[in-house]
Amino acid sequence: MDVVHTAADLRARVSAWRRAGARIGFVPTMGNLHAGHLSLVELAREHAENVVASVFVNPTQFGPNEDFTSYPRTLDADRASLAAHGCNVLFAPSVDEMYPYGAAQTVRVEVPQIVETLEGALRPGHFSGVATVVTKLFNLVQPDVAVFGQKDYQQLLVVRRMTKDLCLPIEIVAAPIVREANGLAMSSRNQYLSSEERERAGVIYRTLCAMREQWNAGRPIAAIESDARAVLEAAGSIPDYATIRRAADLSVPDLSGRHGAIALIATRMGRARLIDNLLLAH
C-alpha cells in the first residue's frame, strides 16, 4: 500500500488507474481506525479494483468547543490496519494541502434542509465542513464509488444530497453499523469512555431496540421518545435527542403512514458524545 500526502501524488496514482480502466473505491475517514472503518474498506473492495482511504482530521467540521485538537491521531497504526485490509493507497494530507487559502477562507459547500435538524441544529457549521471536505476529497480521488457508515446517518443523507445535486458521478454506498458485544456502535470517540462507561453505553442500542418494538406495536411517537429519554437518563447519560424520524429526510413522520422511519439517539456519557440509529421495519 502506498501512502501519499499531496494532491499531485494522489492525482498521479488515480490517473494511472483511470487510464487502465479500473474502478476506484473511496473510504474517507478521520483516522483512529476501528473495525467499523475497516468494514468500509472491505465493502469498497467489493465494488472496485482499487481502494483509496483518506485519513484527515478536518478542521472545518469541528465547532470552537469541540475536540479538534484532542481528536486521536494514530497514523502509523491506521496505515498498518489499512494495508492489512487491502487498501491500495492511503491519502493523508496536511491541513495546508487541503485548504491552500486556509481553513477559515475556504470556498464552502452548503447543503440545505437536511442540515437544519438534529446534529446540524446542535452543531452549527458541522455539515458545511463535512460537505466541503468530502467535495474536495471527491475531486481529488475521483472515485466511482464511495462508502460511508450508516452510524452517521444524517451525514450519509447530506453526502447523498450533495453528490446528486452537484452532479458528481459517484455511487454512495451505505455500510451497516458495526457494534461491540454489548451493542455499542463502534466509534473513535468510544475511547473517551472508561471501561465502566463503555459497558453502560450498551443502553443506547437497547433503547433503540425498545423504540423499534414500541413503534411496531403502534405506540405514539411522543410516548416512545419520552420513555427512551428516561431510560438513557436512568443509565447516567444526558440525551441530546432520542427521536423517530422519516428515514428519507429526517422530517417528523406523518402518523397516517408509518413506513420508512428511523430511530436516532445522541447522548452524552462521561466525556463522550455518542450517536447511534436503527432503521425501523415499518
Report the nearest approach of ligand PAF to the CB of residue 8 (Å). Answer: 21
Nearer to ligand PAF, 58 or 81 (CB): 58
Beta-carbon-side half-sphere exposure of residue 15 (alpha carbons within 13 Å): 6
Task: Show contacts with ligand PAF in window 22-81 (CB under 6 A).
Answer: 28-30, 58, 61
Nearer to ligand PAF, 117 or 154 (CB): 154
Nearer to ligand PAF, 211 or 274 (CB): 274
Report the nearest approach of ligand PAF to the CB of residue 28 (Å). Answer: 4
Cβ burial 76-115 (10 Å sphere, 16+ → b, else e): eebbebbeebebbbbbbbeeebbbeeebeebeebebeebb
Nearer to ligand PAF, 58 or 214 (CB): 58
Q: Binders of ligand PAF: how many residues, by CB under 6 A?
A: 10
Nearer to ligand PAF, 172 or 228 (CB): 172
Instruction: Out of 37, 47, 85, 126, pick the active-site residue.
Output: 37
Nearest-angstrom CA–CA distance, 218 and 224 = 10
> Where does the chain show beta strands of DSSP type E?
2-4, 24-29, 50-55, 89-91, 145-149, 171-175, 238-246, 261-269, 272-279
Nearest-angstrom CA–CA distance, 113 and 183 = 31
Nearest-angstrom CA–CA distance, 256 and 275 = 28
Report the nearest approach of ligand PAF to the CB of residue 150 (Å). Answer: 11
Cβ burial 47-62 (10 Å sphere, 16+ → b, else e): bbebbbbbbbbbbbbb
CA angle 40, 61, 240 (to 5 degrees): 85
Does 163 bind ligand PAF (CB under 6 A)? Our answer is no
Report the nearest approach of ligand PAF to the CB of residue 213 (Å). Answer: 29
Residue 37 a catalytic site member:
yes
Does 225 bind ligand PAF (CB under 6 A)? Our answer is no
Candidates 144, 152, 197, 276: give the one binding ligand PAF (CB under 6 A).
152
Nearest C-alpha neighbor of 135 from the set 49, 74, 58, 75: 58
String marking each residue 132-151 x if it binds ligand PAF according to CB under 6 A: -xx-----------------
Does 170 bind ligand PAF (CB under 6 A)? Our answer is no
According to DSSP, the β-strands at 50-55 and 238-246 are unpaired
Q: How many CB atoms lie within 10 A of CB 258?
A: 16
Report the nearest approach of ligand PAF to the CB of residue 29 (Å). Answer: 5
Task: Show contacts with ligand PAF in window 104-133 (CB under 6 A).
Answer: 130, 133
Interface contacts to ligand PAF, rule CB under 6 A: 28-30, 58, 61, 130, 133-134, 152, 155
> Active-site positions?
37
